[in-house]
Amino acid sequence: MSEQHDHFEDLSRPWRVLIRTMQSMNYGRIENLPIIAGEPRQDDRVTIVTEYKIGGTNGPREDAMQDAFTLKKQVIELIEMFARIENGVVHRLVVKNGLPFSFEMEES
Tens of pLDDT along 77-104? 999 999 999 999 999 999 999 999 999 9
Alpha carbons 52 and 90: distance in angstroms, whole number:
22
Q: Would you say the pTM of this structure is higher than 0.85?
A: yes
What confidence tier does 2 reach under pLDDT thresholds 50, 70, 90? very low
List, for residues 33-69, the tens digit of each pLDDT value: 999 999 999 999 999 999 998 988 788 877 667 788 8
DSSP state of 99: E
CA nearest 46: which of 26, 24, 64, 21? 21
